[in-house]
């Protein structure tokens, strides 16, 4: 199954659904890594490794919620950088 065929559901008032975007995921992970001062090379390495693991997790799924996607991404990121994972998991929270 192509990852572009995985639907990401945003539960809530609108129940918006969109196709999974590897680019959006890479940008979110990269932003968290850059915010703690990682070099570009390290950011690219971490983002690609996390996205690879998320892609493996998504292979047998047709749809996921954005919360599940966010949670799994955070779990994989935590292994590589607990600091970046904290920023990623709390990006919508004032810290």
Q: Are 48 and 25 in contact (CB under 8 A)?
A: no
Q: Does residue 95 form part of some domain? A: no
Domain containing residue 34 = 3-89
Question: pLDDT above 70 covers what percent of the chain?
Answer: 94
Please report whether residue 46 resides in a domain. Answer: yes
Rg (CA), the chain: 13
Number of domains in the chain: 1
Domain for residue 94, yes or no?
no
Rounded to 5 degrees, φ, ψ at 44 are -60, -45
- Stretch 12-34: mean pLDDT: 91
pTM of the full predicted structure?
Answer: 0.89
In a domain, 24, yes or no: yes
| Mean pLDDT in residue range 4-21 | 85
- Three-state DSSP at 8 gives strand
Closest to 47 in 3D by CA, of 32, 36, 69: 32
On whether residue 12 sits in a domain, the answer given is yes
Q: How confident is the model at residue 2 (pLDDT cuts 50, 70, 90)?
A: low
The set of residues, in sequence order, having a beta carbon less than 8 Å from that of 76 and lying 6+ positions away, is: 49, 50, 53, 54
Q: Is residue 1 scored above 60 in pLDDT?
A: no
């Amino acid at each position: 199954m192509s990852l572009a065929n995985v639907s990401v559901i945003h539960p809530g008032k609108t129940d918006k659904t969109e196709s999974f975007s590897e680019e959006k995921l890479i940008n979110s992970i990269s932003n968290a890594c850059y915010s703690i001062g990682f070099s570009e090379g390290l950011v690219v390495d971490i983002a690609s490794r996390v996205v690879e693991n998320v892609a493996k997790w998504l292979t047998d799924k047709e749809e996921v919620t954005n919360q599940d996607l966010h949670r799994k991404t955070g779990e994989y990121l935590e292994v590589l950088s607990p600091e970046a994972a904290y920023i990623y998991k709390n990006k919508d929270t004032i810290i």
